[in-house]
Structure 1
Amino acid sequence: MKTILFALRVSDLERSLRFYAAVGYVELSKIPADDGSRLVWLRLPGESSVSLELVHRPADGPVEVRGFEHFAIEVESLAETLDRLTAGGLQPGPVELPGGADGPKTSWVVDPDGYRFELVQWPPSGAPTFD
């Protein structure tokens, strides 16, 4: 088994598509439904298949982010990623060192509906492994 994607319900599909394109996601497919709903499949460069699905259901009313903590995206260079996101009009948070100076570097970003995601640059020793 493996995780293939996660889905986020969004209130304004075009706004969310612009946001996630600025993050670096590439649109793979839009899937319309008879009720006016749409699904959009996205992936990051380097990923072999869909990893994020945006769900737009206007009839369901406003999006309320409840019970969702965050998702994480691994980056090679956090500094370069933050520069690119800022130049693209996004507002990433400051660099944090949750594991101390020898641990990962992280930053938080919040999308237009309030979903949080964490950017993570692993230290030279790599990501933690669990045997």
Structure 2
Amino acid sequence: MNYLHTMVRVKNLDDSIAFYKLLGMRELRRNDVPAGKYTLAFVGFDDNAHGQAEIELTYNYGEDDGYEVGSGFGHFAVGVPDVAAACEKVRAGGGKVTREAGPVQHGTTVIAFVQDPDGYKIELIQR
């Protein structure tokens, strides 16, 4: 068994894909289903055929006002070589940095938090 993906609903597929590209991900595949009135786009660093989990971005036709993130969802986590540089790339691309790069409270691991166009949080962890 292996972990395949996490699905989130998005209000603008192109904006969401552009954001995740700022983190070094790429669009792996897309499936438009007009009969079901939705489009799926999978983003990640490599496809899950190679053991990498993906994020499934789901756009439901006509749902352009967005969705509530919900109180149960926490965040995605992405390992990066330089958290401060990743924050600058997100900021330069029009993204939102919600916690600047720095050590985790009571520890030494360098982290930051950024937010995608739909309000989903992504923790950047220096590796």
TM-score (norm 2): 0.80
- Tell me what 2:24 maps to: 24
2:53 and 2:40 map into 1 onto residues whose CA distance is 12
Identity of aligned residues (%): 28
* Count of equivalent residues: 121
Contact 1:41 1:50 in 2 (8 A): no
1:46 and 1:89 map into 2 onto residues whose CA distance is 26
Q: Which runs of 5+ in 1 are unaligned?
A: 123-131
1:38 and 1:112 map into 2 onto residues whose CA distance is 17
The structure carrying a bigger strand percent of its residues is 2
Q: Which runs of 5+ in 2 are unaligned?
A: none
- Tell me what 2:61 maps to: 58
- Tell me what 1:91 maps to: 96
Q: How far 1:69 moved relative to its partner?
A: 1.0
1:59 and 1:83 map into 2 onto residues whose CA distance is 33
- Tell me what 1:73 maps to: 78
2:113 and 2:15 map into 1 onto residues whose CA distance is 19
1:45 and 1:75 map into 2 onto residues whose CA distance is 15
TM-score (norm 1): 0.78
Pick closer, same or farther for the CA change 1:75–1:46 going to 2, 3 Å: farther
Pick closer, same or farther for the CA change 1:100–1:116 going to 2, 3 Å: same
Instruction: Say which one has the larger Rg.
Output: 1
